[in-house]
Amino acid sequence: MAAPASAPADSRSRPAVRDVVFVDGVRTPFGKAGSKGLYAQTRADDLVVKVIRELLRRHPELPPERIDEVAIAATTQIGDQGLTIGRSAALLAGLPKSVPGFAIDRMCAGAMTAVTSVSSGIAFGAYDVAIAGGVEHMGNHPMGEGVDPNPRYVSDKIVDPSALIMGSTAENLHDRFPSLTKERTDAYSALSQQRYDDALRTGKITPDLVPVSTRSDEGWGLATADEPPRPGTTADALAGLKTPFRPHGRVTPGNAAGLNDGATGCLVADADTAAELGLPVGMRLVGYAFAGVEPEVMGVGPVPATEKALQRAGLSIDDIGLFEINEAFAVQVLAFLEHFGIADDDPRVNPWGGAIACGHPLASSGVRLMTQLSRHFAEHPEVRYGITTMCIGFGMGGTVIWENPNYQAGGER
């Protein structure tokens, strides 16, 4: 007979929450979307296959059959980004047929949500090891392809019509916070390009990249570097660019991420399983949060998401020593920094530049942020906590807090 509802559950049915660790992450070089881009004739699922195979190649200590799940995000889940891409890419990559997979969508935070979803499963004991990542081939599948927004969004005034155009939401953010001027966004964008170029020249970027064989009308090639960066960019050069979302506006192709193709992936595991298999530990998951905001100013989403994540973790913004913030638009990053009293050029923020330089293939970007933060942690044992955060289309933000396994007490932060 079943126990009364008020009776305490058997302790054996309530497993202890387990520590979750980020093992490693990789990505393809990011390409420009379009007929002349790196991946114009490359399938999206093949980009994911390259990422999965590279993770396994780098970690021969991980038996493929020990992978319990493959979660892959895509914003536009049709064509070669459809067919439950987590499962289909796992099969194409040669993982055992016993390894399941699924697809996930939270627009720009797709890969971030893939990581938090499997991490929750690991913490609960449903998985020991999982692969999580994302892909977006914006050349083959532009954002919004095949979408049919319900007319009630506008007719019932549920959202402002500008909420459906990401660039317009960035202009709205400028309106809401007049102190976030175009001059500031251009200066920040030039700094992002400079920091990326410095990181590339000092060997920081390339180790994370998986070479991808490509095909074009000219024949076969090999993608080994990001295509979008513009080294030597200056704020003065950005000042004269056109503002496509509003006449005499402030958002330009120079202070926003472009339209890009690419894929990312990472290994996430239970801490004890990682130790058992000899897997390295890049970061320990502390907590995460997602939050909603007005869709027409979606760029402010990282602010409440970060406040929520910090509050639940019992931390404050002063505890955070490194920030990886997705640069969908420069104004969105500046809104976050200004809210928390952080300088526009703070060296803790995106030390190797960001999406304005390297690109933002929507659903893939969350894992790029995580991979870079784990590399920063290895170089900065004085830093204990860092965050990865991003705005999300249709009015959301997501933030994940991580702890540095290399932390040594007595450092600066």
Nearest to 99, CA basis, from 140, 138, 128, 137: 128
How far are the Cα atoms of 121, 132, 294, 306, 333 from residue 391, in angstroms, in the given order?
A: 24, 19, 12, 11, 9
**C-alpha to C-alpha distance for 168 and 378, rounded to whole angstroms:** 38
Tokens at residue 102, please?
Answer: 């699924």
SS (H, E, C) 327-372: CCEHHHHHHHHHHCCCCCCCCCECCCCCHHHHCCCHHHHHHHHHHH
Q: How many CB atoms lie within 10 A of CB 76?
A: 23
Helices (H), 214-343: 235-239, 271-277, 302-313, 330-339
Tokens at residue 379, please?
Answer: 């170089």
Element housing 53 (H / E): helix 44-58
Q: Is 89 helix (H, G, I), strand (E, B) or coil?
A: helix
Q: How many CB atoms lie within 10 A of CB 179?
A: 9
DSSP class per residue in 104-143: E-BTBTHHHHHHHHHHHHHHHTS-SEEEEEEEEETTTS-T
Would you name the residues annotated as active-site residues?
A: 108, 360, 391
Nearest to 287, CA basis, from 303, 272, 308: 308
Nearest to 134, CA basis, from 386, 326, 299, 287: 326
Describe the crossing of helices 330-339 and 182-201 by its angle, rounded to 10 degrees: 100
What is the DSSP secondary structure assignment for residue 303, as one 8-state letter?
H
**C-alpha to C-alpha distance for 257 and 338, rounded to whole angstroms:** 20
How far are the Cα atoms of 30, 117, 224 from residue 38, in angstroms, in the given order?
A: 8, 31, 10
Residues near 170 by beta carbon (within 8 Å), at least 6 away in sequence: 245, 251, 256, 299, 328, 329, 331, 332
Tokens at residue 341, please?
Answer: 């009293």
Are 118 and 130 within 8 A, CB to CB?
A: yes
